Amino acid sequence: MSDIQHWRKSSYSGDAANNCVELAQVPDAAAILLRESDEPQTVIATTPAALRALTRAARAGRFDHLSR
């Protein structure tokens, strides 16, 4: 993963140093990488389409029952 340009922090993370979801795109690949800032060695790879589907589902409240 040394070819990653830079990680972008979620705007919802605020100024917290270790409370962030970060994303990066692999150049010349259809892959988006996600990691939690307090555990940066753990990286999840997904496609842009799958990430869009996940964010749409979260915004629609489809996972709200998991936090109750």
Cα 20 from Cα 10, distance rounded (Å): 6
State the pLDDT at residue 60: 96
Rounded CA separation 9/24 (Å): 9
Burial (CB count within 10 angstroms: exposed 0-12, middle 13-18, buried 19+), residue 30: exposed
The pLDDT score that the predictor gives to residue 3 is 59
pLDDT for the residue numbered 19: 73
pLDDT digits (tens, 9 = 90+) for 8-50: 887 777 666 667 889 998 877 789 999 988 888 999 999 999 9
The pLDDT score that the predictor gives to residue 4 is 63
Q: Whole-model pTM?
A: 0.72
